[in-house]
Amino acid sequence: MGEQKPGLEVCLSPALLHLYDVKNSIVVIIDVLRATSTICTVLYNGASRVIPVATVPECVSIGAQLGENAITAGERDGKIAEGLLHGNSPFEYPREFIQDKTLVLTTTNGTKLLHMAKDAIAIITGSFPNISAVCDYLVAQGKPVILGCAAWKDRVNMEDTLFAGAVVNRIKDHFTVDCDSAVAAEALYITSKDNIHEVMKQASHYKRLAKFGLEKDIRYCLTPDGANVLPIYRNGELVAAE
Amino acid sequence: MGEQKPGLEVCLSPALLHLYDVKNSIVVIIDVLRATSTICTVLYNGASRVIPVATVPECVSIGAQLGENAITAGERDGKIAEGLLHGNSPFEYPREFIQDKTLVLTTTNGTKLLHMAKDAIAIITGSFPNISAVCDYLVAQGKPVILGCAAWKDRVNMEDTLFAGAVVNRIKDHFTVDCDSAVAAEALYITSKDNIHEVMKQASHYKRLAKFGLEKDIRYCLTPDGANVLPIYRNGELVAAE
């Protein structure tokens, strides 16, 4: 008889997080379109850190305190929020622009979930561009894991569920999966992975973003390992793990 | 240009129901293992009505008021609850036993959701044994639909999600599906339907019930149209639609 493997669970919406044992788990914050895809991208491109904040005024205020080394970013309803300088697209942050800078980023769904998970053993962010870094870390830690989907205003969404399913599919042999959301997310991923862009065209968020001409963003956010670093949350900021 | 079709949405847990417009929708209560499977079965077998109640004491008290024509039923932790006479298995209710009687049934997850949905246009119950009756009714009504999964203590479960997906798969051409949970549930159903019993063996509820030797119940509850009537909730009771 081997040791009991740690649990691997999927939480499909922040409104369900209270049902999970956050305190004794590593929580992966998943906000594929586009917060967590952009976070790993800016860290991959050399940003010193990302400070996630809940509101636009908080973003403005922290940006002002930090001075010229800080970039304030965030969108509301698909546009750069008033008072901020940049948006949520990973393509806004090439190395020559973001290296050694601090990104102060306000997003609604992802930031909310991150703050809800603050008592976890550890918090990291995940999305397709850094899926391998996420999976390697989770397997190496060997602790219980909650894959936390940021969802959309608490409604379950396709892209975060697909990513959670992709992670389950990759690392399940190292864990005990006794969670129907995890089994369902994996099944969804398996059946979608060979035509993930077509599947995503049925998703509500795809329709919202495509309206703004962001197909290129969507494609990048659904492609594995374009920015394969591991963002870890410590003392209010996300930094790339060594 | 045709008229806009009514919406078809899936709510994966009672903890998410507040995100949906219950008041302007028909709500289908889904508690496949086993409450809503048993409800359609007893009505199919001639019971005059089912009174769903939240607690065991309420079940005992209503049963006592109704006298010998009432059967009190309900389980807690897989056993007939103390003070009640029958359990949740559809096989406990053949026609020769249940015809013209009232079943007073207490179940935790399904009853809770039913009471939460009380302001809906109409409330019906659905499960594989009455899937055709459910689909025919929803298409005929032509109104917005919420497929409400009873889940397990608010945790998303496999069997209710699969049934919701099966309904989406059957009737989506008559509706507008702008709900990622519906798209995901349908994908899960499509990928599972040819080996639904195998898929269910990964489900947490399956493991709980199989411990009690209830594989026969599970098989019945996952098989279409064994008890094809439509239970409608009116004035605190479920009756078979004419």
Mean pLDDT value of segment A2-26: 95
**Amino acid of residue B154:** D
B231 occurs within a structural domain = yes
- The answer to the question of residue B58 being in a domain is yes
B35 contact partners, CB below 8 Å, separation of at least 6: B52, B88, B105, B107, B109, B110, B111, B125, B150
* Residue B210, pLDDT score: 83
Q: Taking 90 as the threshold, does the pLDDT of residue B56 lie above it?
A: yes
* Residue in A12, A199, A205 closest to B12 by CB: A12
d(CA B149, CA B32): 9
B78 found inside a domain: yes
Closest CA to A13 of B14, B27, B116, B144: B14
Q: Whole-angstrom Cα distance, residue A39 to residue A89? A: 10
Query: ipTM score here?
Result: 0.93
Q: Classify residue B132 as exposed, middle or buried by CB count within 10 Å of its CB (0-12, 13-18, 19+).
A: middle
> Is residue A2 one of the residues assigned to a domain?
no
**Helix ranges restricted to H, B35-192:** 35-44, 56-66, 95-98, 108-116, 131-141, 158-171, 180-192
Question: What pLDDT, on a 0 to 100 scale, did the predictor assign at position A154?
Answer: 96
Tokens of A218: 């969507």
B15 contacts A15? CB cut-off 8 A: yes
Which chain A residue lies closest to B153 (C-alpha atoms)? Answer: A19
Task: Answer yes or no: is pLDDT of A225 > 60.
Answer: yes
How far apart CA B113 and CA B203 sit, in angstroms, is 21
Least Cα separation, residue B98 to chain A (angstroms): 34
- Model confidence pLDDT, tens digit, residues B121-140: 999 999 999 999 999 999 99
Per-residue pLDDT reduced to its tens digit, B60-81? 999 999 999 999 999 887 789 9
Return the CATH number at B80: 3.90.1560.10
Domain extent for B75: 8-235
- Reported as a pLDDT band with limits 50, 70 and 90, residue B209 is confident
Separation CA A32–CA A41 (nearest Å): 12
Residues of A at the B interface (Cβ-Cβ below 8 Å)? 12-13, 15-16, 19, 152-158, 161, 177-181, 183-184, 187-188, 190-192, 199, 202-205, 207
Answer whether residue A112 is part of any domain: yes
pLDDT at A185 over 60: yes
Distance of alpha carbon A35 from alpha carbon A112, whole angstroms: 12
The total number of structural domains that make up chain B: 1
pLDDT at B2: 55
Nearest to B6 by CA among B178, B181, B166, B164: B178
Residue A150 covered by a domain = yes
Q: Which element (helix H / strand E) includes B104? A: strand B102-106
Q: Containing H/E element for B123?
A: strand B122-126
Q: Does residue B209 belong to any structural domain of this protein? A: yes
Asked whether residue A213 is assigned to any structural domain, the reply reads: yes
Give me B226's structure tokens: 């064994």
Q: Give buried/exposed letters for B12-44 (b at 16+ CB in 10 A, else e).
A: bbbbbbebbebeebbbbbbbbbbbbbbbbbbbb
Chain A partners within 8 Å of B184 (Cβ):
156, 158, 161, 184, 188
